[in-house]
Homo-oligomer: A and B are copies of this chain.
Amino acid sequence: MKARVHVYLKPGVLDPQGQAVATSLNHLGFEEVSAARQGKFIEIDLETADAEEAQKRVAEMCDKLLANPVIENYDIELSA
Q: How far is the CB of A66 from chain B (nearest CB, A)?
A: 7
Task: Check A39–B47 contact: CB distance below 8 A.
Answer: no
Closest to A41 in B: B41
Q: How far is the CB of A64 from chain B (nearest CB, A)?
A: 6
Task: Check B41–A6 contact: CB distance below 8 A.
Answer: yes
- Contact bitstring A19-57, B, C-beta under 8 A = 1, else 0: 001101100101011111111111111111000000001
- Contact bitstring A45-80, B, C-beta under 8 A = 1, else 0: 111100000000100110011100000000000000
Residues of B within 8 A of A57 (CB): 30, 32
- Residues of A that sit less than 8 Å from B by CB: 6-8, 18, 21-22, 24-25, 28, 30, 32-48, 57, 60-61, 64-66
